[in-house]
Structure 1
Amino acid sequence: MIQLEPISGIFKRERALLAAFPMRMLIVKEGAGFLCMNSGDYMLASGRIFFIPEEGLVRLEGEIKSGYWLTFSSLLYAEFLLQHLDPMAKNLFLNLSFRDLAQQESTKTYSLLDQLRREINARNDLPFLAQYLSLFLGYTAGLDGYLAALTLDELQQVLRFRAILEQYYKQERAIQFYAEGMGMSASKLNRFLDRVLGKSLAALIKDRIMREAEALLTHSDYSIDEIANLLGFEQTANFNSSFKRYKGISVFQFSKQALLN
């Protein structure tokens, strides 16, 4: 589902880079030369991060002294898109694009990549890696502006919280449970979530549940009763009322629209 490798050396364009998965990123820590695609040649530069579309071979001409080659599945990218409705997110890998990172951004990016490699090597579960990748893409693409102001430690805390939330949102609602997982008091976690994410734990859990409800109603064969049960609602009526307050339409109306689309 995801592969991250350090990349360095002198490259000739006659040989294409191998990609384990269709979504591809080249992060150049230090290098010079060109990234060569059918659409043209793009200059390699230190601190430059490339978002590479699925189509076409990737060839390099030049030297990379230090960098990373990241490839991942469309399934992991889909999780990122569920969290980022901005059209820029959908277009991120449509055509080759790149972003030059400032020094402080570069330092955080490389630290996040080193941590991601450790998580991959530790064979962490897919939901955890999906959350990490989503945070990484949002940060490096400049889509999650609030992340830019965070320290590296705060970025890691956001990641840890998202991973815990992803694993337990269907059955756990208590602030104390998440606080213990984060290694902090309930009041400190509340302050952290409000300051960094701008929402309470209850709002974040509800957002995640409703996002999952939309995905299940759109892409699964489960009945409404089964979806309500999967998401931790004791009664379907509670699920219906909660969904309508959140989306402004009933579960039935949403399902009907999804079917028509």
Structure 2
Amino acid sequence: MNNLTTYIPFTKMIKLELIKGTFKRESALTATYPMRILIIKDANGCLCMNSGDYDLKDGRIFFIPEEGLVRLEGEIGSGYWVNFSSALYSEFLLQNLDPLAKNLFLNLSFRDLEGNALKKAFSLMEQLKKDIEANKDVKFLGQYLSLFLGFTAGFDGYLAALTLDELQQTLRFRAILENFYKREKSIVFYAEGMGMSPKKLNSFLDRVLGKSLFVLIKGRVMREAEELLLHSDYTVDEIAVMLGFQQTSNFNNAFKRYKGISVSQFANLG
């Protein structure tokens, strides 16, 4: 007999279930959203899909494409079954421009973790459950999933060296940045949000992310500018205002320095 305990409301564009027990391949796992992850702490047996059977191993994390039913055959001592929307996945793609990141869910793939890496992955899932129960907003969840995928899939190599506390601090900073990057530029503001002194936050960002607050804000603003220029009907003037520029000319100059081409040249690429 299997046991799945649901923690997350559907309105959050994500569903996370604690999964354990005995599974028979006659019954498929259900998924509300297209992006699917199976996180195994300890298990034996196999994950069965049309493309073949894959061993369930301790510490194995599966990244599963939307196509095809997911069936399990075997015994799971502890694990998580997670599915979430493409909208939440988009933040990960914004932060990871490597083509391999875009293909993460194209075909079934997996990564094996052990030791501290596996412990951190499960701790992140446990905290994610708590944050959703605390009714955190969708932007925060998008940041959380981005960090989790970057860590478990190995795209953000620097994350592997961080302690669990540093991972949580990184997540907190990303969430604050995501909510305020358009209008708040002061190190004092972000330091207060992090519960740190400005000096300590500067040191943390330099050590963990390898970038200053100014560079991180600029990068996030320009990523948003790219998305709006290519995938919205807003005018350049409207985008400039939305991103906190007092004059369109300032936006144009900043964008050209960042991308090496003008706003109009970039927009024509779409």
* TM, length-normalised to structure 2: 0.95
1:257 positional shift: 1.4
Equivalent-residue separation in structure 1 for 2:135 and 2:69 (angstroms): 28
1:148 to 160, 170, 181: 160
Give the counterpart letter for 2:57 in structure 1: A
2:179 to 167, 170, 173: 167
Give the counterpart letter for 1:124 in structure 2: K
Equivalent-residue separation in structure 2 for 1:9 and 1:110 (angstroms): 18
Correspondence 1:251 to 2:231? no
For structure 1, list consecutive stretches of 5 or more residues without a partner in the other structure: none
Correspondence 1:123 to 2:139? no
Aligned equivalent of 1:204: 216
Percent sequence identity over matched residues? Answer: 71
Equivalent-residue separation in structure 2 for 1:71 and 1:40 (angstroms): 21
Correspondence 1:53 to 2:65? yes
1:87 positional shift: 1.7
Equivalent-residue separation in structure 2 for 1:245 and 1:156 (angstroms): 33
- How many residues were matched structurally? 258
- CA distances 1:206-226 after superposition (whole Å, capped 9, x unpaired): 000000000000111100000
1:75 positional shift: 1.1
1:157 positional shift: 0.3
Residue 8 of structure 1: SS of its match in structure 2? strand
Residue 38 of structure 2: SS of its match in structure 1? strand
Equivalent-residue separation in structure 1 for 2:163 and 2:124 (angstroms): 12
Equivalent-residue separation in structure 2 for 1:215 and 1:123 (angstroms): 27
Give the counterpart letter for 1:109 in structure 2: A
Please, what is the CA RMSD of the aligned residues?
0.6
Equivalent-residue separation in structure 2 for 1:128 and 1:32 (angstroms): 34
Give the counterpart letter for 1:98 in structure 2: F
- CA distances 1:198-242 after superposition (whole Å, capped 9, x unpaired): 000000000000000000001111000000000000000000000
1:38 positional shift: 0.1
- CA distances 1:122-154 after superposition (whole Å, capped 9, x unpaired): 221111110110000000001111001100000
1:47 positional shift: 0.7
Aligned equivalent of 1:107: 119
Equivalent-residue separation in structure 2 for 1:253 and 1:228 (angstroms): 16
Equivalent-residue separation in structure 2 for 1:166 and 1:156 (angstroms): 15
- CA distances 1:13-57 after superposition (whole Å, capped 9, x unpaired): 000000011100000111110000000000001111000011000
Equivalent-residue separation in structure 2 for 1:254 and 1:43 (angstroms): 46
Aligned equivalent of 2:147: 135
Residue 95 of structure 1: SS of its match in structure 2? coil
1:88 positional shift: 1.5
* TM, length-normalised to structure 1: 0.98
1:28 to 40, 57, 65: 40
Equivalent-residue separation in structure 1 for 2:114 and 2:73 (angstroms): 24
